[in-house]
Chain A
Amino acid sequence: MHAFTYHRPTSVADAVAKRSADADASYLAGGMTLIPTLKQRLAQPTQVFDLAGLADLKGIVVTDGAVTIGAMACHADVALSADVRRVIPALSDLAGTIGDPQVRNRGTIGGSLANSDPSADYPAAVLGLGATIHTNTRQISGDDFFKGLFETALKPGELIVKVSFPIPKRAAYMKFPNPASRYAVVGVMVAETAQGVRVAVIGAGACAFRLSAMETALSKSFSVAAIKDIAIPADDLNNDMHATAEYRAHLVGVMARRAVAAIA
């Protein structure tokens, strides 16, 4: 680890102001991604602003139409919240599949989304449920948030404050975990929402994406049969030693069918 200055900002405004003044600074949430990269000497921030003390980033609130989760809520908070389970069990399930207990008790939803790892699970919920990302300056529609490999719509220094998930009519998340890391090889969120059926895929591409062919088919008939013949092209999918593009393409179909079967 290279040397850096550690700060505990006192408010969101304080954090954003100080972080924005230094292009080489970084926010620290759960540290599950940042700390390993520091230890491997890959990241060399000059200053680190720890978000742990900021009350505005905490908490899970369930209102009539939505679940709103503070950026610093850890995965275990979401997985174990009885409120979340009551209204969006698919979201509890998703959070409960992330990593291992240590990771779930440190890693946060804000950190996960800001990082936009292609194999991270939360992007499937954001895209699949049509969530909105609230930052210190604006609201970003989930559909506009993920831009590419580790790339989001966030501007330098922009801070995720909370994420709100509209409550779907029904939703299910199916994940095929990487046996080593437990990140997703492929994950699929299928949801019937007020705006229609949404199918979001993570793990397979550079970032989360939606499958419109399946969405159309499921809108007509919400059944396994409706999507069983939809082939997923392997062309642009991720290919690594754990999974070939063909295997991922195949798994997207399998996970989607299993998600539909779970709630059809």
Chain B
Amino acid sequence: MGNFGIGQAVRRVEDKRFLTGAGQYTDDINKPGQLYLHILHSPHAHADISSIDTTAAKAAPGVVGVLTQADLDALGIGDILNLAAPPHKDGRALEVPARPALARGRVRYVGEPVAAVVADTLANAKDAADLIEVDYKELPAVVDIADAAKPGAPLVHGTEAPGNVWTHWQLGDEAATKAAFEKAHKVVKIDLINNRIAPTAMEPRGALAEYDVATERYTLIQGSQGSHKLRDWFAKNILKVPLDKVRVISPDVGGAFGMKNFLFNEPIVAVVASKLYGKPIKWMADRAGSFLNDAHGRDQINHAELALDKDGMFLGLRVSSFGNVGAYLSQFGAAIPTMAGCAMLVGAYRTPAAYVDVRVMMTNTAPVDAYRGAGRPEAAYVMERLVDKASRELGIPAAELRRKNFIRPEDFPYKTALGHKYDSGRYAELMDAAYKRADVAGFETRRAAAKKNGKLRGLGISYYVEACAGGQGEQPHLKFDADGKLTIIIGTQDNGQGHRTVYAQIAADAFGIPIENIVVKQGDTDEVPTGVGTGGSRSIPVGGSAVRATLLKMIEHGKDIASNLLEASAQDIEFDAGAFKIAGTDRKVSLKDVIGASFDDAKRGDVKPGLYAAETYAPAGATFPNGCHICEVDVDAETGELEFVNYTIQDDLGYAMNPLLMEGQIFGGAVQGLGQCLFEHAVYDKETGQLMTGSFMDYTMPRAGNTPRFNYAYTEVPTPNNTLGIKGAGEAGTIGATPAVANAVIDALSAVGVTHIDMPMTGLKIWQAIQSAQSKSAA
């Protein structure tokens, strides 16, 4: 279908709806008679609750009910589940700390939900919440990793996390790595802080819950990354009812970034209240609530060491990390600093031996879980900064050191020392292309010119590789209506990426039908039989390949019908350009006629009626998107301010289904990556445990004016691991950007003697680094 098929830069079919305000997000949906839920958050980082008096709140105007955990416990409501248990290296059994929807006798972070008010208006609910009297007895709190690890630190949990360590996990071959370090010519070491991030989706979380007495069914409308997971958790873990008693609908979703994958406190209360009070219950987070109780991202500290021989070949990598998961385990929280990302620490390089150990730390902060990249950005940041440091310490140019050690095209499939099997890549070729496009050769001239204008010019490079789009399959259902309209039903969940467009492109391409004739349905567990959801950049690689597999099955079904119409054997029939044709002849029947016949008992022959198919497709393995980011910055040494001069990306994301949407993912991702590097930081006060960055007045988001114009190109090296050869684009930009920008800042500051700086590299931090380097050199 020429202009709309795969590989074309088709604009999102969703755009018109979204841009004209016709999107239907959770808060746009209202039910007659709905009540409003307001949550009372903990003002303390750590405190025992001796009593909660709700008498006055219950008597307040408009109030229908006030709930505490005692009510939920009496109703037998389950606690929030944990799904990640990275084994302890000592084999210790892991005890999961209980995480009730509302505090049970103790609060462990500022913003933890304590009580809930349901009222006729939100204003009344808020007024009533002021009347709830909670008797807190404050306890000492600990908010950062370093403090939590100190002997005698306040304990967030008791026996579940001795010394605040929930698990101490390891990966790789410790002995082989030790041996590699013993024969090293040089060992390069780095200590890094991976700053905590607040996800800040444009659309905050929300829920609209309803209970139907006649069918005893709950319906939850909630923006998510996959409604089936939520349905299962609600049915099995929270409500303890059969699956068919829960329906979850995810309408339009305004950004998710991992955070909308999870089961959170407030929707549980909304669902429970909908049955209790017999009315639909609406809950929407406000921005302040989002900062306090969305699952945060990142928050690690890493110590990494690279062993090299005298030629600069990598011999071994050793990394010891701490990951802060907050006060409770969010579903995948403990996996993020461990299983999710650590295997990517070896990066794009042949590193024969590697060993990683990670302590999963609990602190008096909001739970931390997957955030765009989920462990892989942290890994890429460690390795790409370490390689850069090695390049400086060994005096080998950054590109040369990388090239020497890159996994070469002939090495694929390549099994790394940390267990992944990389599928494909042409790393050196992409890096060379990026160098050329970024005119790295002319950099020193530009740097000298910038110096004349009082600017410190820096060039930073990263070569990232990440792992995504593996794991479970997806099972789409495709069906034609009698009038030729195609419906694709699929269990992934668009959050703004444009999945509907790409799935439609795949089908338009295969069937030769206009994209307008295709409808994509997602998000409603009553309408979509199964689904794994969106996460780990899987939707287009896995979902798209599944759509492709399903439509091929439909075409086979179509051939059976065509064979009846053409009175030929189905084996002899080909489908091409919208028609079924007897191979080698000009006898054919159009798709439209086959669809018509499929509903006609007289014409269809001995096959099932209608033209539809469902097929499960699971990828053969993960894909390994990779690429080179080259970032050129100017630092104003007087103020610490930074400006982007150039930013070049050369990506390998496998086959580009829709270059426009792919670029959109990469640009947005890269801005999130540079946002972490330069601006974003969720800060808790060490003394009080209060969240200091509780609004956009203090939490710095990158703005358009802070971002570079990306010079973007890609090389298609298709993956063998899914049928469409796609590697996944959702997280790649974030993963590549953070280390490239950091390396550029360090390169700029190296001129004034700075060798290290941690994220976020704000103007203040840059200025301070310059000051301390200068006072050191003066001393």
Shortest C-beta distance, B629 to chain A (Å), equals 22
Shortest C-beta distance, A177 to chain B (Å), equals 10
Residue pair B639, A180 in contact (C-beta under 8 Å): no
State in angstroms the CA–CA spacing of A244 and B763 once bound together: 11
B127, B641, B692: the one contacting A241 at CB < 8 Å is: B692
Q: Which residues from chain B contact A207 at a C-beta distance below 8 Å? A: none
Residue pair A181, B696 in contact (C-beta under 8 Å): yes
Interface centre among A3, A179, A242, A250 (most CB of B within 10 A): A179
Stretch at the interface among B548-556, B583-591, B592-600, B697-705: B697-705
Q: Which residues from chain A contact B449 at a C-beta distance below 8 Å? A: none
Select from chain A the residue with minimum beta-carbon distance to B692.
Answer: A241
From known contacts A176-B639, A241-B698, A242-B698, infer whether A247 and B764 are also in contact, taking CB-CB under 8 Å. Answer: yes
Shortest C-beta distance, B700 to chain A (Å), equals 4
State in angstroms the CA–CA spacing of A125 and B638 once bound together: 24
Q: Which residues from chain B contact A179 at a C-beta distance below 8 Å? A: 679, 700, 706, 762-763
Q: State the interface size on chain B (CB cutoff 8 A).
A: 24
Q: Which residues from chain B contact A242 at a C-beta distance below 8 Å? A: 698, 762, 764
Interface centre among A2, A180, A244, A247 (most CB of B within 10 A): A180
Residue pair B692, A247 in contact (C-beta under 8 Å): no
B24 lies within 8 A of chain A by Cβ: no
Shortest C-beta distance, A106 to chain B (Å), equals 16
Interface centre among B683, B767, B768 (most CB of A within 10 A): B767
Shortest C-beta distance, B286 to chain A (Å), equals 8
Residue pair A180, B696 in contact (C-beta under 8 Å): yes
Which parts of B123-143 form the interface with A (CB within 8 Å)?
A: 123, 126-127, 130
State in angstroms the CA–CA spacing of A131 and B697 once bound together: 29
Q: State the interface size on chain A (CB cutoff 8 A).
A: 18
Residue pair B638, A180 in contact (C-beta under 8 Å): no
Residue pair A41, B763 in contact (C-beta under 8 Å): no
Bitwise interface map of B from 674 to 705 toward A, beta carbon under 8 Å scored 1, else 0: 00000100010000000011001111110000
Select from chain A the residue with minimum beta-carbon distance to B678.
Answer: A179
Select from chain B the residue with minimum beta-carbon distance to A255.
Answer: B639
B288 lies within 8 A of chain A by Cβ: yes
Residue pair A3, B639 in contact (C-beta under 8 Å): no
Q: Which residues from chain A contact B123 at a C-beta distance below 8 Å? A: 1, 3
From known contacts A2-B127, A251-B639, A254-B639, infer whether A180 and B698 are also in contact, taking CB-CB under 8 Å. Answer: yes
State in angstroms the CA–CA spacing of A243 and B768 once bound together: 10
Bitwise interface map of B from 470 to 505 toward A, beta carbon under 8 Å scored 1, else 0: 000000000000000000000000000000000000
Select from chain B the residue with minimum beta-carbon distance to A244.
Answer: B764
A81 lies within 8 A of chain B by Cβ: no
Bitwise interface map of B from 630 to 672 toward A, beta carbon under 8 Å scored 1, else 0: 0000000011010000000000000000000000000000000
B288, B679, B698, B700: the one contacting A40 at CB < 8 Å is: B288
Q: Which residues from chain A contact B692 at a C-beta distance below 8 Å? A: 241
Q: Which residues from chain B contact A183 at a C-beta distance below 8 Å? A: 697
Which parts of B97-131 form the interface with A (CB within 8 Å)?
A: 123, 126-127, 130
State in angstroms the CA–CA spacing of A247 and B763 once bound together: 10
Bitwise interface map of B from 608 to 641 toward A, beta carbon under 8 Å scored 1, else 0: 0000000000000000000000000000001101
From known contacts A241-B698, A250-B767, infer whether A41 and B126 are also in contact, taking CB-CB under 8 Å. Answer: yes
B683, B693, B767: the one contacting A247 at CB < 8 Å is: B767
Q: Which residues from chain B contact A181 at a C-beta distance below 8 Å? A: 696-698
Residue pair B679, A254 in contact (C-beta under 8 Å): no
State in angstroms the CA–CA spacing of A185 and B693 once bound together: 16
From known contacts A1-B123, A40-B288, A41-B126, infer whether A180 and B699 are also in contact, taking CB-CB under 8 Å. Answer: yes
Q: Which residues from chain A contact B764 at a C-beta distance below 8 Å? A: 242-244, 247
Which parts of A153-194 form the interface with B (CB within 8 Å)?
A: 176, 179-181, 183
From known contacts A3-B123, A40-B288, infer whether A247 and B698 are also in contact, taking CB-CB under 8 Å. Answer: no
Q: Which residues from chain A contact B288 at a C-beta distance below 8 Å? A: 40
Shortest C-beta distance, B457 to chain A (Å), equals 20
State in angstroms the CA–CA spacing of A247 and B771 once bound together: 10
Shortest C-beta distance, B642 to chain A (Å), equals 10
From known contacts A41-B126, A241-B683, A251-B639, infer whether A180 and B767 are also in contact, taking CB-CB under 8 Å. Answer: no
Q: Which residues from chain B contact A243 at a C-beta distance below 8 Å? A: 764
Shortest C-beta distance, B441 to chain A (Å), equals 33
Q: Which residues from chain A contact B679 at a C-beta distance below 8 Å? A: 179-180
State in angstroms the CA–CA spacing of A241 and B700 once bound together: 12
Select from chain A the residue with minimum beta-carbon distance to B698.
Answer: A180
Shortest C-beta distance, A120 to chain B (Å), equals 13
Q: Which residues from chain B contact A1 at a C-beta distance below 8 Å? A: 123
Select from chain A the residue with minimum beta-carbon distance to B288.
Answer: A40
State in angstroms the CA–CA spacing of A181 and B123 once bound together: 27
Select from chain A the residue with minimum beta-carbon distance to B685.
Answer: A241
Bitwise interface map of B from 79 to 93 toward A, beta carbon under 8 Å scored 1, else 0: 000000000000000
State in angstroms the CA–CA spacing of A181 and B679 once bound together: 12
Shortest C-beta distance, B702 to chain A (Å), equals 9
State in angstroms the CA–CA spacing of A254 and B770 once bound together: 15
Shortest C-beta distance, A17 to chain B (Å), equals 30
Q: Which residues from chain A contact B126 at a C-beta distance below 8 Å? A: 41
Shortest C-beta distance, A163 to chain B (Å), equals 26
State in angstroms the CA–CA spacing of A152 and B696 once bound together: 27
Q: Which residues from chain A contact B701 at a C-beta distance below 8 Å? A: 180
State in angstroms the CA–CA spacing of A3 and B701 once bound together: 32
Select from chain B the residue with minimum beta-carbon distance to A41.
Answer: B126
Residue pair B698, A254 in contact (C-beta under 8 Å): no
Q: Which residues from chain A contact B683 at a C-beta distance below 8 Å? A: 241
Shortest C-beta distance, A229 to chain B (Å), equals 15
State in angstroms the CA–CA spacing of A40 and B706 once bound together: 29
State in angstroms the CA–CA spacing of A251 and B640 once bound together: 10
Which parts of A40-74 form the interface with B (CB within 8 Å)?
A: 40-41
Q: Which residues from chain A contact B706 at a C-beta distance below 8 Å? A: 179
Select from chain B the residue with minimum beta-carbon distance to A183.
Answer: B697
State in angstroms the CA–CA spacing of A25 and B472 once bound together: 61
State in angstroms the CA–CA spacing of A54 and B123 once bound together: 30
Bitwise interface map of A from 212 to 241 toward B, beta carbon under 8 Å scored 1, else 0: 000000000000000000000000000001
Q: Which residues from chain B contact A251 at a C-beta distance below 8 Å? A: 639
Bitwise interface map of A from 1 to 16 toward B, beta carbon under 8 Å scored 1, else 0: 1110000000000000
Interface centre among B641, B697, B706, B768 (most CB of A within 10 A): B697
Residue pair B697, A180 in contact (C-beta under 8 Å): yes
State in angstroms the CA–CA spacing of A3 and B122 once bound together: 12
State in angstroms the CA–CA spacing of A117 and B683 once bound together: 23
State in angstroms the CA–CA spacing of A89 and B734 once bound together: 41
Select from chain A the residue with minimum beta-carbon distance to B124.
Answer: A3
Q: Which residues from chain B contact A40 at a C-beta distance below 8 Å? A: 288
Shortest C-beta distance, B97 to chain A (Å), equals 30
State in angstroms the CA–CA spacing of A3 and B700 once bound together: 32
Shortest C-beta distance, A116 to chain B (Å), equals 17
State in angstroms the CA–CA spacing of A181 and B700 once bound together: 8
Q: Which residues from chain A contact B130 at a C-beta distance below 8 Å? A: 41
A2, A3, A41, A247: the one contacting B768 at CB < 8 Å is: A247
State in angstroms the CA–CA spacing of A223 and B563 once bound together: 91
Select from chain A the residue with minimum beta-carbon distance to B286.
Answer: A39
State in angstroms the CA–CA spacing of A254 and B767 once bound together: 13
Select from chain A the residue with minimum beta-carbon distance to B129.
Answer: A41
Q: Which residues from chain B contact A244 at a C-beta distance below 8 Å? A: 764, 768
State in angstroms the CA–CA spacing of A211 and B5 once bound together: 66
8 closest A-B pairs by beta carbon, nearest first, are A180-B700, A181-B697, A179-B700, A254-B638, A247-B764, A180-B698, A243-B764, A254-B639
Query: 22 A-B Cβ contacts within 8 A?
Result: A2-B127, A40-B288, A176-B641, A179-B679, A179-B706, A179-B763, A180-B679, A180-B696, A180-B697, A180-B699, A180-B700, A181-B696, A181-B697, A183-B697, A241-B683, A241-B692, A241-B693, A241-B698, A242-B762, A243-B764, A247-B764, A250-B767
13 further contact pairs, Cβ within 8 A, besides A176-B763, A180-B699: A2-B127, A3-B123, A41-B130, A179-B679, A180-B700, A181-B696, A241-B692, A241-B693, A244-B768, A247-B764, A247-B767, A247-B768, A254-B639
**Contact residues of B with A, CB < 8 Å?**
123, 126-127, 130, 288, 638-639, 641, 679, 683, 692-693, 696-701, 706, 762-764, 767-768
